[in-house]
Chains A and B, each alone.
Chain A
Amino acid sequence: MTWPTGEAMQLRPELADKVAAITAKSADRMPGRLELLLSTRVAQLRGVTMPAAADIAVAAEVSRWPSAPTITPAERCAIDLLERFLLDIRSVDDTTFAALKEHYDDDEVAAILFRLALLDGFSKFNLVFPGGEASWPRASHQ
């Protein structure tokens, strides 16, 4: 998924390179295949275009992440954080962090949170920006 839209960034060229760089760098920090899983889940929740790397199998896997056997406990924990982050930020609590820290070190947790902030913000940006993806059908939440 490319966030934000190229059209939007053409209006603010002084921001475009900086946004692209910070987006790419934060994505590179994700452990394993987490970037693909997180960006796919954000796309599903927001009803926007899937990441280019997400095939049908990955999308199906992510859509049933709580029970999918191919989703590892660490990945499940990160996706749980994502859902809380996007849908109910006040539900992110000590229990959430305790679970995360069973799988990720402090630097990784910080990187994941930073990545979620960008995914959350720019997916919203894309939905409301004229010519963005607001007309895309919203994915069903599972």
Chain B
Amino acid sequence: MATSKSSVKTAMPPDLAVDFSDLYGTMWSHGIVDHSTKEVARLRNARITDCGY
């Protein structure tokens, strides 16, 4: 992807990153969908979007 990451020196705002991590962790650790299904969805999303995660 041609998006420039070097031109913006700040990543996610730090406090929002903390909140997001909390939300993301809750999403992974709670709910009725099993972990492996969530992982399959995560991997497919990463593949489709060319995301390194």
Contact = CB atoms under 8 A, between A and B. Distances in A.
Interface of A: 12, 14-15, 18-19, 21-22, 25-26, 29, 89-90, 92-94, 96-98, 101, 106-107, 109-111, 113-114
Contacts, number: 65
Interface of B: 1-4, 7-13, 15-16, 19-20, 22-23, 26-27, 30-31, 49
A102 B16 CA distance: 24
Given A14-B30, A25-B19, A90-B2, A101 B7 contact: yes
Contact of A94 (B2, B10, B16, B26): B2
Nearest to A111: B13
B4 A97 contact: yes
B7 A97 contact: yes
Contacts of A110: 8, 10-13
A21 B26 contact: no
13 contacts: A12-B30, A18-B23, A18-B26, A21-B19, A22-B19, A25-B19, A94-B4, A106-B10, A109-B8, A110-B11, A113-B8, A114-B13, A114-B16
A18 B22 contact: yes
Contact of A18 (B3, B8, B12, B19): B19
